[in-house]
């Protein structure tokens, strides 16, 4: 099973990036191989809904990273927990604790460095563009995992 964990606050503009990306992926990807979990700002409240050992886990969230400028998109496979040290979830999600509950074969961080954290709804134009790029990249990853095919939705 492939799990998509969407994290964000729908009332803080770009902070809803993970949630909006999750909605787009849910429309595109079909099949029993996918599980979509919308966590809002409290991802640990949803850990019981996650399979213990998914084939892949995609963490969709806004991230804070001093090396990246606002508006940047990061898509990174995390081969070990220490690779998360430079990324901080905007929701205080300690990724190391997440992996004590879920043990995926492969883990991917799909993060967006927010441009606009103001109150309100709707993503900035940078976040909208990043979301489109993220969908394309996730499709490529899923094809490489032999988990998705555009013609049949699922292998």
pLDDT in tens, 55-85: 999 999 998 877 888 899 999 998 755 445 5
pLDDT in tens, 108-152: 999 999 988 889 999 999 999 999 999 999 999 999 998 866 654
Domain boundaries, the chain: 2-144
Greater confidence, 31 or 11?
11
| Tokens read off for 60 | 């969709």
pLDDT at 153 over 50: no
Q: Please tell me the predicted confidence (pLDDT) of residue 58.
A: 95
pLDDT in tens, 17-55: 999 999 999 999 977 789 999 988 887 777 777 888 999
Q: Is 17 helix (H, G, I), strand (E, B) or coil?
A: helix
Q: Please tell me the predicted confidence (pLDDT) of residue 135.
A: 96
The values of phi and psi at residue 106, to 5°, are -140, 145
Q: How far is CA 71 from CA 49, 96, 124, 130, in A?
A: 31, 25, 9, 8
pLDDT at 86 over 60: no
Greater confidence, 89 or 74?
74
As a whole number of angstroms, the distance between CA 150 and CA 155 comes to: 10
The superfamily CATH assigns to domain 2-144 is: HybD-like (3.40.50.1450)
């Amino acid at each position: 099973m492939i799990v998509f964990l969407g994290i964000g606050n729908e009332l803080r503009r770009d902070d809803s990036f993970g949630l909006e990306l999750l909605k787009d992926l849910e429309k595109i990807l079909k099949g029993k191989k996918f599980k979509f979990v919308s966590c809002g700002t409290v991802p640990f409240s949803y850990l019981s809904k996650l399979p213990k050992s998914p084939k892949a886990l995609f963490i969709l969230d806004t991230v804070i990273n001093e090396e990246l400028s606002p508006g940047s998109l990061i898509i990174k496979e995390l081969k070990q927990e220490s690779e998360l040290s430079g990324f901080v979830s905007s929701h205080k999600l300690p990724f190391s604790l997440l992996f004590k509950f879920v043990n995926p074969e492969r883990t991917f961080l799909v993060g967006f460095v927010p441009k606009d954290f103001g109150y309100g709804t709707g993503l900035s134009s940078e976040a909208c563009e990043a979301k489109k790029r993220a969908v394309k990249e996730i499709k490529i990853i899923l094809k490489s995992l032999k988990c998705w095919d555009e013609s049949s939705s699922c292998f």
